[in-house]
Amino acid sequence: MHIPDGYLGPPTYLAGYAACIPLWGIAARKLKAGLDARRAPLLAISAAFSFLVMMFNIPLPGGSTGHAIGGVLVAIAVGPWGALLSVSIAVVIQALLFGDGGITAIGANCFNMAFLMPFSGYYAYRGLCRVFPSVKGNAVAAGIGGWLGLNAAALSTAVMFGIQPLLHTGADGRALYAPYPLSVAVPAMMLQHLTIFGLAEALVTGLVVHHLQRSRSAWILQATSEKA
Amino acid sequence: MREFRKYWIALLVIALLTPVGLYLPQILKAGSAWGEWGIEEIRQVLGYAPAGMEKEAGRWNAPLPGYAYPGRGTALLSRQGFAYVLSAIVGIAACGAGGYLLARWLARRRR
């Protein structure tokens, strides 16, 4: 899901930055006002955790690979605004040090993986926790949130890929950037993420939340009644 | 800080396990992630390399490209695994430092 350099034309990647810059600003303001000092080191741990989770490539035999992101799990621990900053740090480090995801695409990649994923998954989790208030129910809610968040990010990534042929096709009919239209990009991305990769994300999110709830580190999970 | 020590240790243990994410796709003959193909791979599949893509690709030279040592050719499997774990540890350090500095900066501005 890490869009490399050269896959998005300038209008799309600039839009990615234009969307992220104000979001990063809001996140900084929110955390400045409300970050519990005890929770502050969790920002660093969350960024490192998300970075590591993304190194576990899951193969589709004979096909492509994908991975979980941990964005919703991080959002449950440090709130969605904290997750925006934590996962953004991981995405920036991946691009700068490891060439995983483009420099031009940092805005677009952060919008998908650090904004859409944590926010959609986190609010789904919060809603589902009200329906399933038990310890197990909360873990299931977290798993569903993880699955949903990953797929929200995958869909947005697929749309970004898929609109490139509409925006940039040469006079000779050749693509200038990502070559596959929406009708190819969306099904290809979604089939993988709705199934295998989404399942991996759900398991990581649900199992870690379950473990934290039962351990003495339960304070890490923000109380469900607490305001985000 | 002590209550966080076990999380940092857990992260290091996870880092040692990361080669699973390197070797398993190789064993099962899985390729790049969808939409993350290299320029040569694209050229083979499409029969041409999109002009904009060709111009932009390879513009940035990362120090550990693709969580591996820089350079052409395929390294020994054991060397790839070592580079992968090294990348994981560098990544933990960089993300940890980034997160820590950000959290400190946000906390200081509050006063």
CA angle at residue A213 from A74 to A33, to 5 degrees? 45
- Print burial letters for B67-79: b (CB count within 10 Å at least 16), e (below 16): bbeeeeeeeeeee
Q: Which residues of B touch A192 (CB under 8 A)?
A: 34
pLDDT tens-digit series, residues A187-199: 999 999 999 999 9
Cβ atoms A165, A217 nearer than 8 A: no
Residue A20: is its pLDDT beyond 50? yes
Interface test with A, best of B1, B23, B34 (most A CBs within 10 A): B34
pTM: 0.95
Domain boundaries, chain B: 2-34+64-110
Tell me which of A143 and B72 has the higher pLDDT: A143
Q: Which residues of A touch B47 (CB under 8 A)?
A: none
Within 10 Å of residue A218's Cβ, how many Cβ atoms?
A: 11
Is B53's CB within 8 Å of A177's CB?
A: yes
- CA A46 to chain centroid, in Å, comes to 13
Give the distance from residue A84's alpha carbon to the nearest chain B alpha carbon, in angstroms: 12
Mind giving me the DSSP string for chain B?
A: -HHHHHHHHHHHHHHHHTHHHHHHHHHTT--SBTT---HHHHHHHHSS--HHHHHHTT-S--SSGGGS-SSSSPPPHHHHHHHHHHHHHHHHHHHHHHHHHHHHHHHHHH-
What mean pLDDT, rounded, does chain A reach? Answer: 94
Residue B110: is its pLDDT beyond 60? no
Is B21's CB within 8 Å of A168's CB?
A: no
Q: Which residue of A has its CA nearest to B24?
A: A59
CA angle at residue A101 from A96 to A107, to 5 degrees? 85
Give the distance from residue B16's alpha carbon to the nearest chain A alpha carbon, in angstroms: 10
What is the pLDDT averaged over residues A163-167?
97
What is the pLDDT averaged over residues B41-64?
92
pLDDT of residue A34: 79
Task: Place B47 in a pLDDT band, splitting at 50, 70 and 90.
Answer: very high
Is B54's CB within 8 Å of A9's CB?
A: no
Rounded Cα distance, A185 and A152, in Å: 14
Q: Which domains does chain A have, with CATH numbers?
A: 10-220 (1.10.1760.20)
Within 10 Å of residue A20's Cβ, how many Cβ atoms?
A: 22
Q: Is the complex ipTM higher than 0.90?
A: yes
Q: Which residues of A touch B35 (CB under 8 A)?
A: 1, 3, 7, 157-158, 161, 178, 185, 189
- Print burial letters for B12-29: b (CB count within 10 Å at least 16), e (below 16): eebbeebbebbbbbeeee
pLDDT tens-digit series, residues A44-88: 999 999 999 999 999 998 899 999 999 999 999 999 999 999 999
Longest dimension (CA), chain A: 63
pLDDT tens-digit series, residues A82-133: 999 999 999 999 999 999 999 999 999 999 999 999 999 999 999 999 999 9
Q: Which residues of A touch B83 (CB under 8 A)?
A: none
Q: Kindly give, in sequence order, each residue whose CB lies less than 8 Å from that of residue A135, ignoring residues fewer than 6 positions away.
A: A210, A213, A214
Residue B94: is its pLDDT beyond 70? yes
Is B21's CB within 8 Å of A55's CB?
A: yes
Is B48's CB within 8 Å of A102's CB?
A: no
Is A37's CB within 8 Å of B107's CB?
A: yes
Residue A38: is its pLDDT beyond 80? no
